[in-house]
Chain A
């Protein structure tokens, strides 16, 4: 193959930033950047009939980490027919084995996302104590870029700081944790409710007290929002509201 030169021929180009919406043309690439033209020794990719666009971004997916692994373990039958399509070409070219359907192996995750045109996936919930595991799975996920959001909404330190109204301390803790776990932003899942699960209880509404912590999901959510803004983090806080797992009801979560 020639020096880092590539030309993607004849596809339907889509680029909203330059208002290109389906024009058929060629895209020349040199050393990882799009250029005006490349030499005749460039590798040619025939994209006739295909869409040529920037890699897709999946902002919330569960693809790496301990709970995904628990999912894989719970469903041995998920692997039953998954490998039968592994072609001779795949085996010869050293593509890794692909396992699983609803909870794919990390290799299959990378390959499937790439096949669908994605370039980036965000693992939406990283338990801080398990962060090396999450990063090891990310390491074993080929092709796509991946990052992870640590969870804060049931964190004992966060609940204790916010019970006392200490937003700055919460922000300092978030900053430290993001650095220590190489996380990307603030994730909140079932705030307070998951802490209550440890005692077989739950917080089904925003104002139900978390057992032992003297704080409500509303206070946790608002406090973390304030800390997120205080830090000026580039991402909005990512929230999965209470009453996790039950179909939506008419009561809005942030209604008074």
Chain B
């Protein structure tokens, strides 16, 4: 429609008039921002839906300023994406098992993919809630093996976990850098003193790593 072509009376159950009206709104906007979420990425068409949204963004830019961005979910999900990008070159779905190089293949190496095919021996759920957000089948497979949750709060994952380790809350009782959805880094100070005996994520993982080095007789880096 943006390019002046005509469309059928009904497209994907939406009447032509409604589509025309929405194109009109977008063209008249001074700044149009498209957020795409799992409605696009996890319905039929998957990444092709996003491909079309990107083409729409490009076409809209001939009329007005338009941009597009992923509507991410959990707090600071952008953060690990940035950290892994600079450390490994990939934002997620990273397979480090080869040892020589990192490998990324969504569809094969994401946590949901691995869980659905029961390729996991042990599952560690950090600051997220696989119990609530993974497909049921994935959780059923994972529950056949040790299931660990690292989280300040109770959640579905902690309810079903074999081990729940509480940690301090980043941004509340632990300082740190958090990446906003648009990838702007925000520095958080600790505003409360953490509970005694509750480690920060960093302390916890340092201790796990050192113990792992002891058990495998290797030197910590």
Contacts and interface: CB of A to CB of B under 8 A. Distances in A.
Interface residues of A, number: 35
A140 B83 CA distance: 9
A140 B85 CA distance: 12
A72 B89 CA distance: 5
A130 B83 CA distance: 14
B100 A132 contact: no
B85 to A, nearest CB: 5
B100 A86 contact: yes
A113 to B, nearest CB: 15
B184 interface: yes
B87 A140 contact: yes
Given A66-B183, A132-B185, A133-B82, A84 B101 contact: yes
Interface in B58-98: 61, 65, 82-83, 85-91, 96, 98
B172 interface: no
Contact of B65 (A78, A106, A140, A199): A199
Nearest to A69: B85
A209 interface: no
B184 A105 contact: no
A137 B100 contact: no
Contacts, number: 84
A76 interface: yes
A228 interface: no
A40 interface: no
A194 to B, nearest CB: 14
A94 interface: yes
B177 interface: yes
A94 B87 contact: no
B205 to A, nearest CB: 16
Given A91-B99, A99-B101, A132-B177, A200 B87 contact: no
Nearest to A100: B89
Question: Which 3 residue pairs of A and B lie closest in terms of their CB atoms, listed nearest first?
Answer: A83-B101, A94-B221, A99-B89
Given A83-B98, A91-B99, A105-B86, 10 more contacts: A66-B183, A68-B86, A69-B86, A79-B101, A86-B101, A94-B221, A97-B87, A97-B88, A99-B102, A132-B185
Interface of A: 64, 66, 68-69, 72-73, 76, 78-79, 82-86, 91, 94, 96-97, 99-100, 103, 105-107, 129-133, 136-137, 140, 198-200
29 contacts: A66-B82, A68-B86, A69-B86, A72-B85, A72-B86, A76-B104, A79-B88, A79-B102, A82-B101, A84-B101, A96-B221, A97-B87, A97-B88, A97-B96, A97-B100, A97-B102, A99-B101, A103-B89, A105-B87, A105-B88, A106-B86, A130-B183, A130-B184, A131-B185, A133-B82, A133-B179, A136-B83, A136-B86, A140-B87
